[in-house]
Amino acid sequence: MKGNERLAMSGSQISLRGIKKSYPSGKLETHVLRGIDLDIDAGDAVAIVGPSGSGKSTLLNIMGGLDSQYTGKAHVAGQDLDQLNDRQLSLFRNQKVGFVFQQFNLLEHLSCQENVAIPAVFAAGGVADPQGRAHAALERVGLGDMGPKLAANLSGGQKQRVAIARALFCQPEILLCDEPTGNLDSRSGRQIIELFTELNRNEGVTLVTVTHETRVSEAASRVVSIEDGLLQSGAVAHGDPDDAPDDDDDDDDGGDDGQ
Ligand SMILES: Nc1ncnc2c1ncn2[C@@H]1O[C@H](COP(=O)(O)OP(=O)(O)OP(=O)(O)O)[C@@H](O)[C@H]1O
Ligand SMILES: [Mg+2]
């Protein structure tokens, strides 16, 4: 318990200590994470960068309670994740964190509104007015008039907005995003970055984003780099995201919303 108390006292919204993760590989083991210590404060916007296979998604999944097969301590949003049983972990994922993935992971045969309201199915005790709440979440991402439209008929940028609305449905403290712009064209990607920045600055949502894209890490307040399963020293503080250089590869700011 001493370790837990120490983590709880750190005051960080996300506090990882000595996180290790291995996969069996024949008679040997592949050590994916080899002892990660990381603190992230509430309202922070952190980018996690590193080569392919370095363990970025693995680390994000551990933070979000999607993966509990690791050693070390993960204290996230007031919870010691290793102390939670399966039901409590699922409640944690439902209430405390929102996930955004590269592949959007929408149910294509459902409407936008229905996709966004999916977390209501898993919420303990149900959710009052799930449809009204889904509509409000769609409005937050600029798709207030798209509720009835089938997810299959959306552009990539629109799909990612719906996925973000779904992640916001239960009003999580933390958004965990794995390559959220990886499948988007330049303009849609920029709009998604702007949306994240707005959610972070105006609503105080903590952002942890795994990315290969410089423009995503430039919009973060802190960049941590992972290599060979270890965080590298020299994490960069970028300061105010306003100071980040502009992405000039596309000067058309017009949106694809509401199409
Ligand atoms: N289920 C698994 N079984 C065995 N090895 C795995 C499994 N899942 C991931 N790995 C290995 O763990 C390592 C880290 O994977 P991870 O997906 O976290 O990398 P990543 O940094 O997110 O890479 P990318 O940038 O390509 O998404 C990789 O070497 C991968 O092959
Ligand atoms: Mg990955």
Low-confidence ranges of the chain (pLDDT < 70): 1-10, 233-259
Cβ contacts of 77 within 8 Å, gap of 6 or more: 13, 14, 92, 96, 97, 173, 174
Q: What is residue 10's predicted lDDT score, i.e. its pLDDT?
A: 55
SS3 42: coil
Please name every residue paired with 7 in a beta bridge, in sequence order, or none if there are none: none
Q: Would you say how long the chain is, in residues?
A: 259
CA of 205 to the centre of ligand 1 (A): 27
Pocket flag, ligand 1, residue 32 (CB < 6 Å): yes
Q: Pull the structure tokens for residue 256.
A: 């694809």
3-state SS record for 224-243: EEEECCEECCCCEECCCHHH
Q: Pull the structure tokens for residue 111.
A: 């409407």
Q: What is residue 90's predicted lDDT score, i.e. its pLDDT?
A: 94
**Strand 14-25 and strand 71-76: pairing?**
antiparallel
Q: What is residue 11's predicted lDDT score, i.e. its pLDDT?
A: 75
Using alpha carbons, list the distances in angstroms from residue 9 to 6, 38, 102, 183: 5, 14, 34, 39
In a mutational test of the pocket of ligand 1, which residue from 29, 33, 56 has the highest number of ligand atoms less than 8 Å from its CB? Answer: 56
Output the CA torsion sign for 92, 96, 100, 105: positive
- With b meaning 16 or more CB within 10 Å and e meaning fewer, what string describes 20-49? ebbeeeeeeeebbbeebebbbeeebbbbbb
Among the atoms of ligand 1, which is closest to the Cα of residue 61? 18
Q: Pull the structure tokens for residue 247.
A: 């992405």
Q: What is residue 100's predicted lDDT score, i.e. its pLDDT?
A: 97
Cβ contacts of 125 within 8 Å, gap of 6 or more: none
3-state SS record for 124-166: CCCCCCHHHHHHHHHHHCCCCCCCCCEHHHCCHHHHHHHHHHH
Pocket flag, ligand 1, residue 53 (CB < 6 Å): yes
Pocket flag, ligand 1, residue 122 (CB < 6 Å): no
Q: What is residue 222's predicted lDDT score, i.e. its pLDDT?
A: 93
pLDDT tens profile 30-78 = 999 999 999 999 999 999 999 999 999 999 999 999 999 999 999 999 9
SS3 3: helix
Q: What is residue 73's predicted lDDT score, i.e. its pLDDT?
A: 97
In a mutational test of the pocket of ligand 1, which residue from 57, 62, 63, 212 has the highest number of ligand atoms less than 8 Å from its CB? Answer: 57
Pocket flag, ligand 1, residue 58 (CB < 6 Å): yes
Q: What is residue 233's predicted lDDT score, i.e. its pLDDT?
A: 62
What phi, psi does 23 have (nearest 5°)? Answer: -120, 140
Q: How far is residue 259's CA from residue 243's CA, in Å, rounded to a whole number?
A: 32
Among the atoms of ligand 1, which is closest to the Cα of residue 59? 18
pLDDT tens profile 36-47 = 999 999 999 999
Q: What is residue 4's predicted lDDT score, i.e. its pLDDT?
A: 44
| 26 alpha carbon, closest ligand | 1
Find, among 97, 92, 98, 203, the residue nearest to 140 by Cα. Answer: 203
